[in-house]
Amino acid sequence: MAAITAADVNKLRTMTGAGMMDCKKALTEANGDFEAARDILRKQGQKIADKRADNATSEGLVMVALNDDQTSGKLVALACETEPVAKVADFKTLAQTVLDAAVASNAKTKEELLAAPAADGRTVQENILDLTGKIGEKLDIVAYETLDAEKVASYIHSDNKKGVLVGLKNVGNADVAAVGRDVAMQIVAMKPVAVDKDGVDSATVEREIEIGKEQARADGKPEAMLEKIAQGKLNKFYKENTLLNQEFVKDNSLTIAQLLDKQSKGMTVSAFKRVAIGA
Over residues 88-115, the pLDDT tens digits come to 999 999 999 999 999 999 999 999 999 9
Q: Give tens-digit pLDDT for 231-257.
A: 999 999 999 999 999 999 999 999 999
Band of pLDDT at residue 17, cut at 50, 70 and 90: low
**Alpha-carbon distance 222 to 74, whole Å?**
51
Asked if residue 69 is part of any domain, the answer here is yes
Average pLDDT, the chain: 91
Residue 197 has a pLDDT of 95
Residue 13 has a pLDDT of 78
* 93 lies in the same domain as 64: yes
Asked if residue 101 is part of any domain, the answer here is yes
* 22 lies in the same domain as 88: no
* 93 lies in the same domain as 136: yes
Domain that holds residue 79: 53-148
* 22 lies in the same domain as 83: no
Band of pLDDT at residue 152, cut at 50, 70 and 90: very high
Domain boundary among 14, 35, 51: 51
At 120, which CATH number?
3.30.479.20
* Phi-psi label, residue 31: left if phi above 0, alpha if psi -120 to 50, beta otherwise: left
At 15, which CATH number?
1.10.8.10
Residue 179 contacts residue 149 (beta carbons within 8 Å) = no
* 46 lies in the same domain as 99: no
Residue 134 has a pLDDT of 81
Residue 132 has a pLDDT of 87
* 83 lies in the same domain as 29: no
* 96 lies in the same domain as 13: no
* 109 lies in the same domain as 42: no
Residue 47 has a pLDDT of 66
Of 18 and 240, more confident: 240
Residue 12 has a pLDDT of 79
Residue 168 has a pLDDT of 98
Asked if residue 137 is part of any domain, the answer here is yes
* 103 lies in the same domain as 19: no
Asked if residue 17 is part of any domain, the answer here is yes
CB proximity list for 133: less than 8 A, separation 6 or greater: 18, 22, 41, 42, 44, 45, 46, 48
Total domains, the chain: 2
**Alpha-carbon distance 150 to 161, whole Å?**
26
Asked if residue 257 is part of any domain, the answer here is no
Residue 109 has a pLDDT of 97
Asked if residue 132 is part of any domain, the answer here is yes
Q: Give tens-digit pLDDT for 56-78.
A: 789 999 999 999 999 999 999 99
The pTM of this model reads 0.80
* 88 lies in the same domain as 124: yes
**pLDDT > 80? residue 46:** no
* 114 lies in the same domain as 130: yes
* 75 lies in the same domain as 46: no
Asked if residue 129 is part of any domain, the answer here is yes
Nearest to 56 by CA among 139, 159, 157, 136: 139
Angle, helices 6-16/20-29, rounded to nearest 10 degrees: 110
**Alpha-carbon distance 223 to 206, whole Å?**
17
Domain boundary among 148, 180, 209: 148
Lowest mean pLDDT among 8-12, 207-211, 218-222, 272-276: 8-12
Domain boundary among 100, 118, 148: 148
Asked if residue 269 is part of any domain, the answer here is no
